[in-house]
């Protein structure tokens, strides 16, 4: 199941009444897509589960705000993305207060880098922009709106992320040199 599909009018009405059976059915329908998106964006399974759980809770609490049931999937995707971004902000704030240096957050890269590992090595913001654009199919305008930045910011982050991934995949030794990414 993907986020491109919506729900029917009756399901939306039941969600608005906080029907537990409907909530469970909706969760089962979208859980895989939500999990995949969250784990790709944050690179941490525990954090992804936190984002998915918080995202579904928020969606169920705010179902009354949704007017068009066919927009439920994209609406839920946006909620999940926002939850991941909020968790990442909280994580970086706590790491910054402990470490003080952004370079201390960079993970060590192993010698054999494949696409999955290269994605995991990207800065959280770059990975998020790359995933939302190249996999989820969001436009730069949509990404910019989600992140609270301009379209040119989104394009720049995507270009830098692609360049890093390509460099790491072509020359795994180049990945072992830490890079400093701009916020």
76 and 135 share a domain? no
Q: Average pLDDT in the 137-142 region?
A: 87
pLDDT category at 183 given cuts 50, 70, 90 is very low
What value does the mean pLDDT take over residues 88-97?
Answer: 57
Average pLDDT of 27-41?
92
Positive/negative CA dihedral, 153, 158, 161, 167: negative
Query: Is pLDDT larger for residue 167 or for residue 69?
Result: 69
Domain boundary among 105, 132, 160: 105
Q: Which helix (H) or strand (E) holds 181?
A: none
Question: Whole domain around residue 134: which residue ranges?
Answer: 110-183
Identify the band that residue 118 occupies on the pLDDT scale cut at 50, 70 and 90: confident
What number is the average pLDDT over the span 115-144?
Answer: 83
84-91 contacts, C-beta under 8 A, 24 or more apart? 84/37, 84/38, 84/41, 84/42, 84/47, 84/48, 84/51, 84/128, 85/128, 85/146, 85/147, 87/42, 87/47, 87/50, 87/51, 87/54, 88/42, 88/47, 88/124, 88/125, 88/128, 91/47
For residue 131, give every residue at least 6 positions away whose Cβ sits within 8 Å of its Cβ, in sequence order, or none.
Answer: 37, 40, 41, 119
| Residue 56 sits in the same domain as residue 138 | no
Looking at the structure, do residues 42 and 1 belong to the same domain, yes or no?
yes
58, 100 Cβ separation under 8 angstroms? no
Cβ 69 vs Cβ 164: under 8 Å: no
| Same domain (yes/no): 119, 91 | no
Based on the fold, state whether residues 93 and 115 are members of the same structural domain: no
Question: Are residue 7 and residue 94 in the same domain, yes or no?
Answer: yes
Q: Does one domain contain both 117 and 101?
A: no
> What are the tokens at 38?
């969250």
Which range is least confidently modeled, 52-66, 98-112, 135-149?
98-112
- Residue 146: its pLDDT value, please? 82
Same domain, 86 and 128: no
CATH number at residue 122: 1.10.10.10
- Helices and strands (H and E) in the chain: how many: 8, 0
Same domain flag for 7 and 91 = yes
Please provide residue 19's backbone torsions phi and psi, each rounded to the nearest 5 degrees: -70, 115
Q: Considering the chain, what is the average pLDDT of its residues?
A: 79
Closest of 17, 156, 1, 140 to residue 77, by C-alpha: 1
Last residue of a domain, one of 43, 73, 105: 105
pTM listed for this prediction:
0.59
Check whether 1 has a pLDDT greater than 70. no
Per-residue pLDDT, averaged over 142-153, amounts to: 88
């Amino acid at each position: 199941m993907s986020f491109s599909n919506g729900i029917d009018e009756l399901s939306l009405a039941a969600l608005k009444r906080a029907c537990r059976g409907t909530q469970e059915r909706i969760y089962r329908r979208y859980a895989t897509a939500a999990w995949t998106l969250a784990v790709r964006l944050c690179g941490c399974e525990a954090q992804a589960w936190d984002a998915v759980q918080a995202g579904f809770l928020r969606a169920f609490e705010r179902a009354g705000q949704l007017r068009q049931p066919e927009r439920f999937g994209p609406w839920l995707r946006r909620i999940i993305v926002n939850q991941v971004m909020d968790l990442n902000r909280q994580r970086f704030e706590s790491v910054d207060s402990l470490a003080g240096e952004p370079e201390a957050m960079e993970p060590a890269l192993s010698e054999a880098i494949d696409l999955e590992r290269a994605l995991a090595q990207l800065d959280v913001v770059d990975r998020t922009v790359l995933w939302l654009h190249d996999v989820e199919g969001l436009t730069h305008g949509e990404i910019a709106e989600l992140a609270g930045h301009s379209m040119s910011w989104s394009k720049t982050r995507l270009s830098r992320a692609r360049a890093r991934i390509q460099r790491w995949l072509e020359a795994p030794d180049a990945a072992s040199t830490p890079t400093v990414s701009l916020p």
